[in-house]
Structure formats: C-alpha cells, structure tokens
C-alpha cells in the first residue's frame, strides 16, 4: 500500500494496471448472491485483487453488487485501500453474516484493525466507500460476547464514506469504525445491534466511533442517521487511550436515536457539535457526557443545540464528570422520566468541578423530577433564558396492590381498583417480590414499562409475575423544583429564566431550591420570574453567600 499524503499536494494520475478494473460487477468475479453459496472467499479474493491494483497505480476501484442475498460465512474480509463496495440499495443488496461453521470467531463484513492487521497512522486504508446495501448480522452467534462481531469494523481510515446502509442485529456494534479522518457517515440506519451485549460490554452500539488515533483533530461528520434499539448507544464517540488528546472535528447532525440504552454519547471528544437531532425513548439518557468509555475520559467543550430530547426513561441530558465547558442551547427537553438536565458524579473520571457550563434558551417541561438538577460541584455556570414549566410529574404517593384486580404482562401492569394520577409514577421502579421494572408512563389503572434492555420484549428483570401477585411502588420525592442545587454552585449566573407550573394540579413545587447539601457562593441570581409554582418561588435550606440576588419576581424570601 502506498503512503497516502494527507497534504493538499496534487497526486499523480496513473494509468490503471491490467487485471484490476476500476469498476466490476461482483457476479462476474465469483460472487453468486443466491443466499446459499458462501460468497466470502470470492469477495476476499476480489478485494485483494483490486487492492493490489490501487497499490500499484493509486486509482480507486468499485465493486458493484447487483440485487441478491450474499451469504458471508465463517470469516470476515480483510479490507484494502481504494476498494469500494456499492449495492443496489438496502433490501435489494443484502449481506447475510453467519458463523455456524466457526463459532469461535465473529464474522464482520469488512474489517481492518490494529490488533488483527497492524492498522496504524502509517498503515491505514483510504478512499473506500460503502454504500447502498444491507447487512444482516442475525446469523452470528458467540459463546461469549466479542466486540468484533460487527457489521463493519475498520480502524485508521482516510476519506471513508458510509452512505445509505441498513445494518441490523449484529452481535456487537453495527457500524464500529475507529479513527476516521476526512470521512462521512450519512443516511445509515442501524437497528437492534449489540444483541449479544448485556449493556455493559465494550461496543454493542448502533454507530460507534473510537477517536484520538490521529491526534488532536479528526474530521468526521455523522449526518441523517437513524439508530433504534441498540444495546448501548445509538451513536457514540469514545476516546481510546487516556493519555491521548481529546480530539476536535466531530459533528453529529440531523440524526434520530430511539430506544437505545443511551441516545448519543460523548465519551471523550473536545468540541463535539450535536445539532438538530431527536433523542427519544432511550433507556438511560437521551444525551450522555461521561467517562464511561474505555479511556475513562468525558467529553468537554461540546455544543448540543436545537434538539428534541423527549421521553427518555431516566434523564434527558446526563452530564457526568466532564471538566467542562459544555453548552446546552435551544433544545426541547421534555417528558423524561427523571431530570431534564442532570449534572452528577459517576464515581470516576474528572473529580473536580465542572467549569463554564452554559444552559441557555432551552424549553424544559413535563419531566418526572427536577428540570435542572445539580448534584456535582460546578463553577462559573451560566443558566439563562430558559423556560421551565410543569415538571415534577413523578408526584404519586406510594402504592401497593394485589389480588383479583391485578394482572401482569411483559410490558405493563394493570390494577383495576387503582386511581393513580396520570403519569404520577413515571420513572419509578415497581417491585413484585424480587422482580422489578421501570415505569415509563401510567393511566389511572395501568403502568407501562420500559424494556429491561434495548430491543427486549419484556420490562421485567425476571419472569413476568403471576396474576394477583402483590406489587409495591415507592413514594415520590416531596420536593420537585425547576432548578435544584444539591452541590457547591460557585460564581454562577442564573438570569432571565421563567420557572412556573400553570396546570390546575401543579407538581413543580418550587422554582429554585438550594438543598442542605447545596451552596450558592458569589452567584448572580437576577431577573428570574419564579411566580406560579405549587408551594413557593424559592426554598433555601442553605442561604446564598455573597453575589447578587435582585429583581426576581415573587421572590419574597
């Protein structure tokens, strides 16, 4: 493979070598596409042949796979620079992965990795496009989880394009490619991947990108993608070494992530831009910034803007152990089971305060608990111009029941004698002996339950309880504020926010609450409208120290 200069120098244009056509029909080179023949050996031979041609003359080649089912069995294909794989569209061109003859190893469609093949900054692949086909990973089975059981698993790629792909039900991550430079992931749909992942393993995502291998700048755009029901993240970026510099250059634009464990996660980038995305119904959080990744380094310097972050089972935005800064601007953050925005300590990662976080111009409404909750020290935070209304929906008192009126299903509980407030149990855990499930919504007599894991048919951690078994629901927290400060909150600015509850049955108890564990030192709390909450405008279990506290409407305390 020739060295590929990343500079702007004009390359030489060479005549293609004989025997390695620039464009070829896969059917004319041994692939059958009949769903029966193992097409992997023919594909591997063709990739090698065209890769050798690219190495000789520097001209990229294209393999076109006409409509058909191409069975890829028992081995992945080691990919080569300058070789593109193009189909006739998802559903028409389908690659069916399976490993029934080699259960010890996964079978990705294409891979090129550091561990298996010596991929590096000096041994990368370049000028490859994967477009217009489907990858079905449902035929791969493993005795133990293996993070290489992907659809596509390439590392150190330059000028890579992944477009109009449908990848589903792989054992590990669907599109799991690392260190992508000058690359694009566009219009990729990933469903039900990470099915062999218990939710805690490495990988298991829809689209997962390891970052940091090229240094402090890696240029990648992920646009117009859809990720549904994947084991860990819908889309995530993960710094691979804790001593690497968190890189800049990543954008995630116009994507939809639903019913994954996390919607979109920033596990180690610097300056990630997430814009115009929909993050809904994810089992842990819609957007997650934390050190949960391999390197234990959280993202910082990012911007999430103009997104809909709605009906996630726990938090809308989970911000854990970032050093900051981060900007959250212009989003709708609504109907999440716990908090809208939650700054909290995961017990690992950066241990100091989060600095210079900006929460600006967002709509927070109908969340189960506090709209904004600060459970970790922050300094120089700016919380301005937000509309925070009708939160604290998890208001129902403790409840028990059993007997003839109670029935259980995979994803619901019914008690015909109950009179629960609408969505008053949202986000609670219902217990039936040792069995447990999380409530996502409720009517006066029915609880709807979240999946126990992504793409699971049940919400229970064990078998579905028998009819009539006794259940328990815990009490709701008594205080559910618009903004809760439950940690040191120093030199912060809280200005121009409208915080209220305008429903007949109010559930947002206070506009602003500083708890006994919280503090507000040298803060500027100004020009906020706190009128119209259920109990009062402000509750100060710890009085503020220093700073300014001026012109807050209905701030009578």
What is the model's pTM?
0.94
Q: C-alpha angle 231/207/63, rounded to 5°?
A: 125
pLDDT band at 199 (very low <50, low <70, confident <90, very high): low
H helix or E strand, kind and range, residue 87: none
Strand runs labelled E in 341-395: 341-344, 354-355, 357-360, 363-365, 372-374, 378-379, 382-384, 387-389
| b (16+ CB within 10 A) / e for 346-380 | eeebbeebbbbbbbbbbbbbbbbbbbbbbbbbbbb
Give the DSSP H or E segment for 45.
helix 40-57
Across the range 273-299, mean pLDDT stands at 95
CATH class of 79-351: mainly beta
Task: Work out the pLDDT band at 4, boundaries 50, 70, 90.
Answer: very low
Q: In which element (H, E) is residue 506 found?
A: none
User: Residue 412: pLDDT band by 50, 70, 90 thresholds?
Assistant: very high
Instruction: Dig out the tokens for 426 from the structure.
Output: 């949202």
Calculate what percentage of the chain has a pLDDT beyond 70.
96
Q: Please answer whether residues 316 and 286 qualify as being in contact, where contact means their C-beta atoms are separated by less than 8 angstroms.
A: yes
14, two tokens: 């060479």
Per-residue pLDDT reduced to its tens digit, 131-166: 999 999 999 998 888 889 999 999 999 999 999 999
| Residues 460, 501: Cα–Cα separation, whole Å | 34
- CA pair distance 130, 48, nearest whole angstrom: 16
SS3 333: strand
Q: Token match 């430079």: residue? A: 181
The contacts of residue 318 (CB under 8 Å, 6+ apart) are: 262, 284, 285, 287, 288, 289, 290, 342, 344
Stretch 434-461: mean pLDDT: 96
pLDDT digits (tens, 9 = 90+) for 473-516: 999 999 999 999 999 999 999 999 999 999 999 999 999 999 99
Q: Structure tokens of 290?
A: 């934390």
Average pLDDT estimate for 6-13:
55
Token pair, residue 340, equals: 């809208």
Average pLDDT over residues 25-42: 97
- Region class of 459: left (phi > 0), else alpha (psi between -120 and 50), else beta: alpha
Closest listed residue to residue 314, CA positions, set 347, 332, 288, 346: 288
Distance CA 203, CA 226 (A): 17
**Overall average pLDDT of the 327-356 stretch:** 94
Higher-pLDDT residue of 303 and 294 is 303
Given a cut of 50, is residue 56 above it in pLDDT?
A: yes
pLDDT at 2: 40
C-alpha dihedral, 377 to 278 to 109 to 294, nearest 10°: 0
DSSP H helix total and E strand total for the chain: 2, 53
Tracing tokens 């992997």 back to the chain, one arrives at 40
Q: How many CA atoms lie within 13 A of 250 on its CB side?
A: 36
Element (H, E) at 286: strand 285-289
Largest CA distance in the chain: 85
Rounded CA gap, 553 and 24, in Å? Answer: 72
Give the integer Cα–Cα distance in Å for 9 and 13.
13
Q: Are 103 and 141 in contact (CB under 8 A)?
A: yes
Average confidence score pLDDT of the chain = 94
DSSP β-ladder status, 326-329 and 357-360: parallel
Best CA proximity match to 206, nearest among 269, 282, 274: 282
């Amino acid at each position: 493979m020739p060295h590929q200069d990343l500079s702007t120098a004009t390359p030489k244009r060479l005549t293609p070598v004989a025997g390695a056509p620039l464009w070829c029909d896969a059917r004319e080179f041994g692939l059958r596409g009949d769903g029966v023949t193992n097409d992997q050996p023919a594909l591997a031979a063709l990739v090698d042949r065209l890769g050798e041609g690219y190495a000789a003359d520097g001209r990229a080649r294209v393999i076109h796979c006409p409509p058909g089912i191409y069975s890829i069995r028992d081995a992945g294909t080691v990919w080569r620079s300058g070789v593109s794989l193009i189909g006739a569209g998802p559903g028409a061109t389908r690659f069916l992965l399976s490993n029934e003859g080699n259960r010890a190893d996964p079978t990705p469609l294409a891979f090129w990795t550091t561990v298996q093949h010596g991929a590096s900054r000096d041994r990368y692949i370049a000028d490859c496009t994967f477009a217009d086909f489907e990858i079905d990973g449902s035929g791969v089975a493993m005795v133990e989880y293996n993070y290489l059981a992907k659809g596509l698993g390439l590392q150190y790629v330059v000028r890579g394009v992944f477009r109009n792909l449908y990848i589903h039900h792989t054992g590990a991550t669907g599109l799991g490619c690392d260190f992508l430079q000058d690359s694009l992931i566009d219009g990729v749909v990933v469903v039900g991947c990470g099915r062999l992942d218990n939710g805690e393993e490495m990988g298991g995502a829809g689209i997962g990108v390891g970052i940091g291998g090229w240094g402090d700048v890696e240029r990648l755009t992920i646009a117009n993608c859809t990720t549904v029901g994947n084991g860990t993240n819908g889309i995530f970026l993960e710094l691979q070494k804790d001593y690497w510099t968190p890189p800049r250059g990543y954008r995630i634009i116009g994507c939809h992530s639903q019913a994954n464990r996390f919607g979109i996660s920033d596990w180690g980038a610097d300056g990630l831009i997430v814009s115009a995305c929909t993050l809904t119904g994810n089992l842990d959080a819609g957007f997650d910034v934390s050190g949960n990744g391999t390197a234990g380094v959280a993202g910082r310097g990012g911007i999430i803007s103009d997104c809909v972050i709605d009906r996630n089972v726990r938090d809308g935005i989970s911000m854990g152990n970032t050093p900051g800064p981060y900007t959250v601007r212009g989003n709708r953050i609504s109907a999440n089971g716990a908090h809208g925005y939650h700054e909290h300590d995961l017990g690992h990662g950066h241990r100091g305060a989060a600095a210079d976080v900006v929460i600006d111009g967002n709509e927070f409404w109908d969340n189960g608990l506090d709209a904004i909750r600060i459970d970790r020290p922050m300094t120089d935070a700016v919380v301005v111009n937000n509309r925070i209304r009708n939160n604290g929906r998890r208001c129902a008192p403790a409840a028990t029941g059993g007997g003839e009126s109670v029935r259980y299903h995979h994803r619901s509980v019914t008690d015909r004698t109950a009179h629960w407030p609408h969505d008053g149990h949202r986000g609670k855990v219902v217990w039936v002996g040792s069995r447990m499930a999380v409530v996502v919504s409720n009517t006066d007599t029915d609880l709807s339950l979240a999946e126990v894991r992504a793409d699971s048919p049940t919400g229970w951690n064990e078998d579905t309880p028998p009819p009539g078994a006794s259940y328990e629901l815990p009490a709701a927290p008594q205080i559910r504020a618009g903004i809760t400060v439950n940690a040191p909150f120093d030199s912060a600015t809280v200005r121009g926010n409208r915080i209220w509850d305008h429903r007949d049955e109010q559930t947002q108890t206070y506009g602003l609450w500083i708890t006994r564990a919280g503090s507000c030192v040298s803060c500027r709390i100004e020009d906020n409208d706190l009128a119209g909450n259920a109990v009062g405008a402000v509750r100060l279990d710890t009085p503020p120290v220093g700073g300014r506290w001026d012109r807050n409407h209905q701030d009578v305390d």
